[in-house]
Homo-oligomer: A and B are copies of this chain.
Amino acid sequence: MPPSPDLAEFLDASRQRVNAALDRWLPPADEPPRRLHEAMRYSTLGSGKRLRPVLVYAAGSACGADQSVLDAPACAVELIHTYSLVHDDLPAMDDDDLRRGRPTCHRAYDEATAVLVGDALQVLAFEILAGNEHMVATDALRVQMIRELAVASGTRGMAGGQAIDLAAKGSKLDLPRLEYMHRLKTGALISASVRLGALAGVASAGQLDNLAQYADAVGLAFQIRDDILDEEGDAEIIGKNPGSDRASDKPTYTSMLGMDEARRRALQLHEAAIDRLRDFGPEADLLREISGYIVNRRR
């Protein structure tokens, strides 16, 4: 199912918007240290899906935020996501050669550069959220965004999920533990994307809570779809080697549930996500469509 014309337009506009902001805020490739700056741009700019920025813009719109205050959080979540990909791809971690259809950072450059690229992208996310020129928002709001992004990225979020994932290689996780791992590893940042967008729109506590639960369901659905695509996918479309998760003995939804049950579970989560938006009117239609897009995407 291709995205609707409205959604397709929004996805395009969001991607262009965040790509332009990233290009503007990443250090220029001709500024020393050049190799590092070039590698940061190589890893960040390009063909990413930009799902997390899209969620920032969509959640912000649902809460009435102006697009201009959403660029900083949109860039910040994408920089955190990109840094995690660069480090997770390292030989000591998942040892991947291909990412977003191109050689991984440590393949295109070298391992030391890839470590530094990840480190520098992570801190750039916080520099942007704290930067004077980057956002029209109150200091109180910035501090809250920084806190939420930091928690979502740390050991009670993304980094913790990666540690659990690494420890689980070759062992059997049961379904609750697999879900727990994914809630940390990818769910926390997806949820933070929705929450940062909502915060920029000065959402009420009730709205924030519903949106967080929407994000939680969408985050898990995204991961299940990832596993399905990894199982059935085409390297050219998904941008990495298909079956690589299974080959590396990582526990996946598809290996645990089978393809049919995995698909059914993704659809259930989509319905749960939609249900969480019941107090919103048409201003949340994009969020509704994004949820459907996530469980049906081909890459």
Whole-angstrom distance between the alpha carbons of A111 and B36 in the complex?
A: 21
Nearest-neighbour CB distance to chain B for A171, whole angstroms, equals 14
Q: How far is the CA of A240 from the CA of B236 in the complex (A)?
A: 48
Q: Report the stretch among A96-104, A117-125, A247-255 that lies at the interface.
A: A117-125
Pick out which of these stretches binds chain B: A153-161, A197-205, A256-264: A153-161
Contacting pair A127 B143 (CB below 8 A):
no
Contact yes or no, B166 A112, CB < 8 A? yes
Q: Which residues of B contact A131 (CB under 8 A)?
A: 147
Please state if A116 and B162 are interface contacts (CB–CB under 8 Å): yes
Q: Would you give the shortest CB distance from A84 to chain B, in whole angstroms?
A: 8
Determine if A163 and B33 form an interchain contact, defined as CB atoms under 8 angstroms apart. yes
A interface, over-half SS: helix
| Bound-state Cα–Cα, A168 to B238, Å | 38
Q: Would B146 and A126 count as touching, CB distance under 8 A? A: yes
Chain B residues within 8 Å of A241, by CB: none
* A126→B142 CA distance, assembly (Å): 12
Shortest A53–chain B CB gap in Å is 19
User: Of the candidates B92, B123, B153, B163, which one forms a contact with A150 in the assembled complex, judged by CB atoms under 8 Å apart?
Assistant: B123
A235 at the interface (CB under 8 A from B): no
Q: Which residues of B contact A111 (CB under 8 A)?
A: 92
Task: Enumerate chain B residues within 8 angstroms of A160, measured Cβ to Cβ.
Answer: 32-33, 36, 120
B115 touches A40 (CB 8 A): no
Distance between A199 CB and nearest chain B CB, rounded to angstroms: 13
Residue of B nearest to A119 (CB): B159
Report the minimal beta-carbon distance from A261 to chain B, rounded to whole angstroms.
Answer: 27
Contact B112 A127 (CB under 8 A): no
Contact B90 A115 (CB under 8 A): yes
**Bound-state Cα–Cα, A92 to B127, Å:** 26
A37 on the B face (CB < 8 A): yes
Q: Is A139 an interface residue (CB 8 A)?
A: yes
Closest to A106 in B: B92
A37 nearest CB across to chain B (Å): 6
Q: A151: which of B32, B115, B127, B153 is its contact (CB, 8 Å)?
A: B127
A213 on the B face (CB < 8 A): no
Interface residues of A (CB under 8 A from B): 27, 32-33, 35-37, 40, 83, 87, 90, 92-93, 110-113, 115-116, 118-120, 122-124, 126-127, 129-132, 138-140, 142-144, 146-147, 150-151, 153-156, 159-160, 162-164, 166-167
